[in-house]
Structure formats: C-alpha cells, structure tokens
Amino acid sequence: MNFDKELNARNLSCPLPIVKTKKALNDMTSGQVLKVFSTDSGSVKDMAAFAEQTGNPLLAQEEANGEFIFYMKKK
C-alpha cells in the first residue's frame, strides 16, 4: 500500500504509539497516508479506537514478525 509518511513506534508502550501517531498526523495534509510500525500488542485495539474516535480511517493493518503495521489516512 502506498503511504506518504512512516512512523517508527517500535518498542514503545501505551500511550506512546497513539500519541506519536496523533503528532505525526498533525504534520500531514488531508488524504495523506501514515504507515505506523508498532510492537505493542495493545496498539491493535488502541489504533482502531483512535481511528474511530478521531475519524481518521484505518485503511489496513498487518502483523508480521511480531510487528504490527497500520495504514491510517488523515481525514
């Protein structure tokens, strides 16, 4: 999937993946896609909750080698 910006949130615990995602989105323009890498298993539910509450659509998510990858579109 195409993306415009990458965020490395590996080895960070709650709430840093969410807070750093928010900060990364702040620097982007509407329609751009952010790719987030996380190793926090709690971030699976948290990213979905973040997307739902902020209205930034979570386009896709993958899990590979103990890492979680999220694609979030800035609303």
Partner 1 sequence: MAKKMALISTKGTLDMAYPPFILASTAAALGYEVQVFFTFYGLPLLRKDLSGVKISPLGNPAMPMPMPIPVAMQMLPGMESMATMMMKQKLKKHGVATLEELRDLCLELDVKFIACQMTVDLFEFDKSEFIEQCEYGGAATFMGFAGDSDICLFI
Return the SS3 of 34: strand
Question: Could you say whether residue 40 binds partner 1 (CB under 8 A)?
Answer: yes
| Shortest CB 70 distance to partner 1, Å | 15
CA distance 56 to 40: 20
Binding segment (CB under 8 A) for partner 1, from list 27-35, 49-57, 61-69: 49-57
| Shortest CB 71 distance to partner 1, Å | 18
| Shortest CB 63 distance to partner 1, Å | 18
Q: Is 17 a catalytic residue?
A: no
To which H or E segment does residue 16 belong?
A: helix 16-26
Contact residues: partner 1, CB under 8 A = 11-16, 18-19, 21-23, 39-40, 50, 53-54
